[in-house]
């Protein structure tokens, strides 16, 4: 699925300084695109800085839930394509402060969709496996109902329904990508399993797992996701009707937290370290993983990086950069 060129040039990446946004911006620049980026502030620019691409991105800082700011920004800029990644992504934060999550994820996406409708700009929207909420039928397909119950899940279900509304009502060119757990070098959210455990192990500290470790999830390497997004965006830009759709995208392995933890111990230290278990996973879905058949069948997009190789790349990044972060 390697790409050497793309049909578009001027791309807006919202949430450009996050994990996926930084890797996305780097790849688009390498493909010769002009990249503009929106972020709430510059507090998460470490990864962009480490890639030495900050000066190449036309950066803007404001809240996408501010419709006047979005309208003003789009009136002064012209884009071939928008990749909408900006969101409040933390399940715990959404429970503590649902209003902020709803404003960012629902109202922010609404503003982006409306601007793209006005200027007839194709947009790829980042969703999540959490949009499906809780379902007893696994793996989730795109036919699984969107029924998020808790605040973060609800925000992603609502986002996806907004995308369907704009597609069906205004014939907007919108692709939705629902991914599982994205991992890779540069994720500085230490509450997440892979970055948090990696840091503990590299510090020679005992890791903490906040569940019994039996929860099962998709795990997909960030560069795999970037390539899939760009391939999907290319098909959308070309006008392929199959691309104007909702898609799941996940790796080939469904792994439990305990299994991921054991593999991390092996990659970082070459030996197992007994973790401390703290059962603090209320309002989390026990098992959740995706079926990616649709995107493979319609657009020939699939995961190519196996979990172990992605994990080695991720740990290598933390080994090289952790001292600079702290």
Domain count, the chain: 1
Q: What is the largest CA-CA distance in the chain?
A: 56
**CB–CB of 122/82 below 8 Å?**
yes
Residue 224 within any structural domain of the chain: yes
Confidence of residue 281 (pLDDT cuts 50, 70, 90): low
Q: Rounded CA gap, 6 and 93, in Å?
A: 37
Region of poorest pLDDT, from 77-81, 123-127, 253-257: 253-257
Q: Rounded CA gap, 102 and 241, in Å?
A: 30
Residue-averaged pLDDT of the chain: 94
pLDDT of 186 over the 80 cut: yes
Q: Rounded CA gap, 249 and 223, in Å?
A: 13
Residue 315 within any structural domain of the chain: no
- Catalytic member of 152, 166, 261, 318: 152
pLDDT of 37 over the 90 cut: yes
Closest CA to 129 of 246, 14, 303: 246
Residue 167 within any structural domain of the chain: yes
pTM here is 0.95
The mean pLDDT of 147-166, rounded to a whole number, is: 96
Residue 122 within any structural domain of the chain: yes
The confidence score (pLDDT) of residue 211 equals: 87
First to last CA, the chain: 36
pLDDT of 324 over the 80 cut: no
- 3-state SS, 45-92, equals CHHHHHCCCHHHEEEEECCCCCHHHHHHHHHHCCCCEEEECCCCCCHH
Q: What is the dihedral of CA 4, 9, 14, 16, to 10 degrees?
A: 50
294 is in which domain, residue-wise? 10-184+220-252+289-304
152 is catalytic: yes
Cβ burial, residue 300 (10 Å; 0-12/13-18/19+): exposed
The confidence score (pLDDT) of residue 42 equals: 85
Both tokens of residue 237? Answer: 């830009």
The mean pLDDT of 305-312, rounded to a whole number, is: 95
Confidence of residue 282 (pLDDT cuts 50, 70, 90): low
* pLDDT: which is higher, 41 or 326: 41
The mean pLDDT of 51-75, rounded to a whole number, is: 97
* pLDDT: which is higher, 165 or 282: 165
Both tokens of residue 220? Answer: 């997909």
Judged by DSSP in three states, 12 sits in: strand
Q: What is the CATH number of the domain that holds 75?
A: 3.40.50.720
Residue 316 within any structural domain of the chain: no
Report which secondary-structure segment, H or E, holds 102. Answer: helix 98-102
Residue 133 within any structural domain of the chain: yes
Residue 161 within any structural domain of the chain: yes
Residue 35, φ and ψ in degrees, nearest 5:
-115, 125
**CB–CB of 284/91 below 8 Å?**
yes
Residue 312 within any structural domain of the chain: no
The mean pLDDT of 272-297, rounded to a whole number, is: 87
Q: Which residue is associated with the tokens 């990508």?
A: 177
């Amino acid at each position: 699925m390697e790409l050497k060129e793309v049909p578009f040039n001027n791309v807006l990446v919202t949430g450009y300084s996050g994990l996926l946004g930084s890797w996305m911006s780097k790849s688009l620049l390498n493909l010769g695109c002009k990249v503009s980026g929106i972020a709430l502030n510059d507090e998460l620019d470490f990864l962009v800085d480490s890639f030495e691409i900050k000066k190449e991105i036309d950066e803007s800082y404001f809240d996408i839930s501010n419709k006047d700011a979005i309208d003003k920004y789009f009136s002064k800029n012209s884009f071939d394509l928008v990749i909408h990644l900006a969101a409040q992504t933390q399940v715990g934060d959404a429970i503590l402060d649902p209003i902020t999550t709803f404003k960012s994820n629902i109202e922010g996406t609404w503003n982006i969709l409306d601007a793209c409708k006005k200027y007839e700009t194709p947009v790829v929207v980042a969703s999540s496996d959490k949009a499906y909420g809780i379902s007893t039928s696994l793996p989730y397909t795109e036919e699984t109902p969107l029924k998020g119950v808790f605040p973060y899940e609800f925000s992603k279900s609502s986002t996806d329904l907004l995308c369907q509304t704009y597609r069906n009502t205004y014939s907007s060119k919108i692709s939705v990508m629902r991914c599982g757990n994205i991992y890779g070098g540069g994720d500085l959210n230490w509450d997440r399993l892979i970055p948090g455990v990696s840091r503990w192990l590299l510090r020679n500290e005992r890791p903490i797992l906040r569940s019994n470790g039996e929860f099962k999830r998709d795990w997909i390497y960030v560069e795999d996701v970037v390539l899939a997004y760009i391939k999907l965006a290319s098909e959308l830009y070309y006008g392929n009707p199959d691309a104007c759709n909702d898609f799941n995208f996940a790796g080939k392995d469904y792994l439990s937290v305990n299994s991921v933890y054991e593999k991390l111990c092996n990659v970082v230290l070459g030996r197992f370290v007994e973790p401390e278990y703290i059962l603090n996973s209320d309002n989390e879905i026990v098992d959740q993983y995706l079926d990616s058949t649709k995107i493979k069948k319609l657009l020939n997009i699939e995961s190519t990086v196996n979990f172990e190789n992605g994990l080695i790349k991720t740990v290598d990044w933390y080994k090289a950069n952790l001292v600079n972060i702290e």
